[in-house]
Amino acid sequence: MPFKPNMNPKKNPMPSQDPKVRAHNFHEVTTGYTADTAMDEALRCLNCKNHPCVSGCPVKIHIPDFIEKVKEGEFEEAYKIISKSSSLPAVCGRVCPQETQCESKCVRGIKGEPVGIGRLERFVADWHNEHNTENIPEVPSNGHRVAVVGSGPSGLTCAGDLAKKGYKVTVFEALHTAGGVLVYGIPEFRLPKKIVQKEVDTLKAIGVDIETNMVVGKTVTVDELFEMGYEAVFIGSGAGLPRFMGIPGESLKGVYSANEFLTRSNLMKAYLDDSDTPIMKAKRVAVIGGGNVAMDAARTALRLGAEHVYIVYRRSMEELPARKEEVEHAEEEGIEFKLLCNPKKILGYENPDDRRDPKNGTVIGMECVEMELGEPDASGRRRPIEKAGSEFTLDVDCVVISIGTSPNPLIKSTTKGLDVNGRGGIIVEEETGHTSRDSVYAGGDAVTGAATVILAMGAGKIAAEAIDKELSGKNS
Ligand code: FAD
Ligand code: SF4
Ligand code: SF4
């Protein structure tokens, strides 16, 4: 019998910790739907015949089908539908920019809020992780060996899809923990590490070997991987090289790239009450930039004990590239937005009478200038222009630079015949992820530059299919 739709124009709100409380802890901000709320939200879906929402999902999850199962309370069935297209639903349900992807196409968004597709996906994945006790079936080996470089979402997806087809896959990861940005970039309060660990454990259970502390290009090269008997290599090494602004004062003590700041916090477990993190616990922090990474760094600084945290961004709120939900959460927690504001110089303490004064070279402020918006530039966004005579000094003792990252040139410089573009991204064939080098594939941020989890995951899937096609062809 068809269900009576829930015509409430608003989504069921997402339960979350009180902003005043959560601003001082690293526990997950949002606590997730209950089964009753999920079923009520599912009833907002009209099960549209031409399902426009699916066209907004980069991996084409069968959204109305999984939501129908949620309406029926068949959560495991809903999970099975999602997992046909996505291997990281608990992650994507939390961090996908749904408002510009699946939910942006939902018809319920025309006269109200779209169906909370991401929230439902998260609920279903969490329900599965909590209740599922099925053992993962063993897959007979097909005798082929594949190496995967990097254990971010692209590498994990590629490794998982190949292992499920019987390939013997080894993932080589530079850091001591697997998971890529999901572990060292996105903070615990947005994506609990145990969720990523579960995905990594599942891969290990189906036979994927994960070798950590292996920097491909230093410990072993791509060419050597072939000599070791791997028949194909997938490069999913991300875009972890931070960009700087080139302004005076960037080498002062107390200036970090967002990558370094977040990695120190995440991997050195600053989120645990009893951790002894090597991050300087500053009182007044300026984070330069307006993306998701900047919001994460600012909210981390707050949780590490800062009294004032500023987002310094040279355009207006309208152009801020971070997810709307993250900006709202940051505002609720007390992050202060210095918009239309550009840094010119980071100021350092100097004691000319005592060169050994430990405070020498530490940050004591940041000179900024106000901006106004002119005509649109090549990106279509209005160009920020300095307002003459509007210089001022922001009183800060720590500066975090979050203006973007690029792919690290190490693998390119140590791999013969691997072509990259002007921004350092590995050049691949779109349909297969194949690079300019035989049997070498690539995907995720290493190809596109900093992008999203779901796009990286999609690229890992495409490459796994192409590798399977290439290597299974060798049998015939
Ligand atoms: P990565 O996740 O970067 O993984 C690459 C892995 O390769 C790393 O573990 C790295 O250590 C390893 N590696 C690098 N070089 C080598 C080498 N030479 N040898 C061996 N291993 C190597 N996306 C969203 O969709 N939503 C969000 O909310 C969001 N928030 C973000 C917040 C932060 C702080 C950051 C930094 C990114 C965020 N992103 C978000 C972007 C998203 O995380 C990335 O697009 C995605 O992780 C890219 O996946 P990947 O597999 O290509 O690379
Ligand atoms: Fe939406 Fe992301 Fe899930 Fe696709 S993977 S349905 S875009 S939340
Ligand atoms: Fe449901 Fe919205 Fe998709 Fe229609 S567009 S099927 S209402 S989620």
> What pLDDT score does 158 carry?
97
| Residues at CB less than 6 angstroms from ligand 2 | 57, 59, 61, 63, 86, 92-93, 96, 98, 101-102, 117-118, 121, 454
Q: Is 306 in the pocket of ligand 1 (CB under 6 A)?
A: no
Nearest CA to ligand 2 atom 2: 96
Structure tokens at 274: 């009893």
CB 146 within 8 A of CB 230: yes
The residue whose CA is least distant from atom 39 of ligand 1 is: 452
pLDDT at 281: 77
CB atoms within 10 A of CB 133: 4
Cβ neighbors of 302 (< 8 A, separation 6 or more) are 23, 24, 309, 333, 334, 335
Ligand 3 center from residue 117 Cα (angstroms) = 9
Which atom belonging to ligand 2 lies closest to the Cα atom of 63? 6
**Number of other CB atoms surrounding residue 134 within 10 Å:** 7
Q: What are phi and psi of 412, to 5 degrees?
A: -60, -45
SS3 state of residue 372: strand
**CB of 188 shorter than 6 A to ligand 1:** no
Buried/exposed 228-266: b ≥16 CB within 10 Å, e otherwise: eebbbbbbbbbbbebeebebebeebebbbbbbebbbbbb
- CATH class of the structural domain 145-240+406-475: alpha beta
Q: Which CATH architecture has domain 19-131?
A: Orthogonal Bundle (1.10)
Are 326 and 350 in contact by the 8 Å Cβ rule? The answer is no
Determine if ligand 1 sits within 6 Å of the CB of residue 240: yes
**406 and 446 in contact (C-beta within 8 Å)?**
no
Note whether 165 and 143 are within 8 A (CB). no
Q: Of 10, 169, 200, give the one whose Cα is nearest residue 87.
A: 200
- Closest CA relative to residue 384, chosen from 367, 370, 375, 372: 372
Q: Decide if 145-240+406-475 and 244-403 have a common fold.
A: yes
Residue with tokens 């036979």: 207
Q: Give the pair of three-digit tokens for residue 247.
A: 């302004």
Instruction: Answer whether 292 contacts ligand 1 (Cβ < 6 A).
Output: yes
Rg of the chain taking only CA atoms, in angstroms: 24
H or E element in which residue 127 lies = helix 117-131
Give the residue extent of every domain in the chain.
19-131, 145-240+406-475, 244-403
Domain 244-403 CATH (choose: 3.30.70.141, 3.30.70.270, 3.90.400.10, 3.50.50.60): 3.50.50.60
pLDDT, position 139? 85
The ligand 3 site (C-beta within 6 Å) comprises 45-48, 51-53, 63-64, 106-108, 115, 117
Length of the chain: 476
pLDDT for position 199: 86
Would you write out the chain's pLDDT as a tens digit for each of its 476 residues? 578 899 999 999 999 999 999 999 999 999 999 999 999 999 999 999 999 999 999 999 999 999 999 999 999 999 999 999 988 999 999 999 999 999 999 999 999 999 999 999 999 999 999 998 777 777 899 999 999 999 999 999 999 999 999 999 999 999 999 999 999 999 999 999 999 999 899 889 889 999 999 999 999 999 999 999 999 999 999 999 999 999 999 999 999 999 999 998 888 776 666 776 667 778 999 999 999 999 999 999 999 999 999 999 999 999 999 998 899 999 999 999 999 999 999 999 999 999 899 999 999 999 999 999 998 888 788 899 999 999 999 999 999 999 999 999 999 999 999 999 999 999 999 999 999 999 999 999 999 999 999 999 999 999 999 999 999 987 55
* pLDDT at position 277: 64
**Is there a contact between 292 and 326 (Cβ–Cβ < 8 Å)?**
yes
pLDDT computed for residue 291 by the predictor: 95
Secondary element (H or E) of residue 448: helix 445-448
The torsion angles phi and psi of 163, rounded to 5 degrees, stand at -60, -35
**Cβ proximity of 124 and 66 under 8 Å:** yes
